[in-house]
Every structure is written in structure tokens, then in C-alpha cells.
Amino acid sequence: MNLVIFKFVQLGDNVVFLPVVQTLRARFPAWRITLLTTPQEAALYAAVLPATDVLTCPQLHFNSSWQRPWELAAWWARVRSRRPDACLVSFDQGNAAHLLVRHSGARLRVGARIAHVRIGGSLTHDVKMPPDGRVASWHWEMARVLVRAHGCTDWPASPPPPDLTHLVAPHENTIGRRRVVIHAGSNQAFTRWPIERYAETAALLARDCDVTWIDRDETRGAVLPPEVRRSAPATLRELVSLLAGADLFLGNNSGPMHVANALGCAGVVVSGPTAPGWDPFWHRERWRVLRHPTLPCVPCEWKDEFRLIRDCALTHDRLACLRHWTVLAVEAACREMLSRP
């Protein structure tokens, strides 16, 4: 069977989707699987898919390709050349992906549609979000529907953690101070705990831990003590290897958080507007999600079906959900997680 998968999204979304591709490859080695994804995330799939079967494009550029008909036509030709028997479309794909799927020639088209998708008839099987509201579970159910249509009735009940070992560089296992990696960034400003509070927490943890601060454009201005090491991973392999050597991850809900979770690292997440469906899915006993306990607007994400949230709407007390967490409260959560076996 020829299967084409659409997953033009960012790092965290691809990490929680990776078990689908890895399990499909393991169970159906004769299938030809073609994946359409973003360039930076292609390395996630390198252990299970040859480079010739991974087609890449920046997410925003692909999503806007309908504005450039010649580009969309080129993508249509690429998809059709794979002669797909089936397509699998993640819930977060836009109109360009659904248009290509609709005209792919595939008889089986499994996935999910969010509210802004306007392409009718793109899917033969529209899979609704499962009761647990978890994105990883949703991806898994889409795959279950796909393989069931081909006679497979023993698809596992839940997704395993993704295997990232092909991206982990050898590192020395040392005994001594605990290692903490802090990722204070995220793609949207209104999902970030204040950077100065992360810097204060880093200084407190550095008194008896080896602390590494991941630099991004939005976090390079942080004032840190000299004992906090700064790192700016240039590749996905460098990021994964850094997190694989950590005893604790501290950060916002972000792509690196999902990488750390997949690796089995312990973690503390300062979560404001993000829906629980994006909480760490695996090794939950090792993770602490700090979410405001009483604020009625929390989480503001997904209050309506897939409503896109661009900023905090609580104008009288902006980002109260994040500012609720003090430096001492976050430090205490980190130390509590570090104290566990």
C-alpha cells in the first residue's frame, strides 16, 4: 500500500505524532510511506523513513500555497506521483493540505478537520477527538481507523513514547550534581512565564545543580549568574542530546518540553493558556504541570472547538494565569521533582 501523511507543523506537534509513523513502519514494513512535513522536523523520522520519502516545506509557506497556484500544482503533482492508496491527515492541517488530499486519488482519506478548513469531501473518515482530549490519543485513533480499514484489528490501545535514540549523541554519565535544563521560550509570547522569573529560578537552582539555559531569540536578554551555562542548540540532534542528559526540564509548554517528555526526563511546566490536551503525555508521574487552579478562563485554548487564541483576553489582569506562579513556588516544584527516585 502507498500511504501519504500530512504533518506540516512545528516540533512538539511532530513529536507527539511520531509514534504513529514509527508503529506503522514496524507493523507494515511493505508499505511505502511518504511524509509531508517541515524541514527542521524531518530528522525526527530519519530512522524509519528514507530521505526520498520525506517531502518538506516551511509550514506557513505551504499553508499559503493556495495563493500561488503554480506551487500548489507542483505539490499536487508530487502527491499524485506517489499513487496513494490512502492519506492520513493530522487534525492541525489547513486548507492546502485538505485540497491536495481531496484530489490525491486516494480512496481512503483518514484524518480530522478543524473549523477553518473549507474543503468539502477531503476525508472519507473524519475522526473526532477522543474523550481524554489528548492530541497524542487523537493521532493514535486516526491511525487505528486507517489500519482497521486494511483489516488490522490489533492496533495497540495507546501510543508508546516516540523513539528518539537516533538523535541522541553519546554523552558521559556523571555522578554528582543534578542537571537542569531551562527552556524559557515558546512560539507565542502570551504562553511564556516571565523571563525574569525563569532567570531568578535558574540562579536559585544553580546553587546546588548544574543548570543549562537554552537561548532563543526571545530569551537571550536574560540576566543570568555566571554559574548558569548558556546553550543555543543549532540542530535538532543537539537539542535532543542536551535534553537526554538532563535530570529535570523546566519551561513553558513547547516543542522542547515534548522532546524532554518523550526522552523520559522529569519536568516542570508553567502552563497558562494551553489546553490540557497538550500536557506531557508519557511518564506522567515524572511531570508537574503548574496551571492556575481557579481562574475561570484557564485554559483559554479550545474553549470553543479549535478556536485559535492569539493573545490574552483578560485585559484587566493580563496573563494572570502565568503570573500566579512565583519564583519560590516554581523552585519548590523543581526540587520536589528532583527529589523523587
Mean pLDDT by runs of 10 across the 341 residues of the chain is 96 97 97 97 97 96 94 97 97 94 97 85 94 94 96 94 94 76 89 94 96 93 94 96 96 96 97 88 96 83 57 74 92 96 80
Instruction: Please return the burial class of 155, using the count of CB atoms within 10 Å of its CB with bins 0-12, 13-18 and 19+.
Output: middle
Kindly state whether residue 155 falls inside one of the protein's structural domains. Answer: no
**Residue 288: predicted pLDDT:** 97
**Residue 198: predicted pLDDT:** 97
Grid cell 503554480 in the structure block, residue: 70
Q: List the grid coordinates of 255.
A: 516543542
- Within this chain, do residues 139 and 178 fall inside the same structural domain, yes or no? no
Provide the whole-model pTM.
0.93
The residue type found at 284 is R
Kindly state whether residue 154 falls inside one of the protein's structural domains. Answer: no
- How open is the CA angle 200-204-209, to the nearest 5 degrees? 130
Kindly state whether residue 121 falls inside one of the protein's structural domains. Answer: yes
**Residue 182: predicted pLDDT:** 98
Number of residues written out for the chain: 341
Number of structural domains found in the chain: 2
- Within this chain, do residues 122 and 209 fall inside the same structural domain, yes or no? no
**Structural domain of 46:** 2-148
**Residue 304: predicted pLDDT:** 46
**Residue 173: predicted pLDDT:** 60
Kindly state whether residue 132 falls inside one of the protein's structural domains. Answer: yes
d(Cα 119, Cα 140) in Å, to the nearest integer?
24
Helical (H) or strand (E) element with 279: none
- Within this chain, do residues 327 and 199 fall inside the same structural domain, yes or no? yes
Grid cell 537526554 in the structure block, residue: 244
**Residue 3: predicted pLDDT:** 98
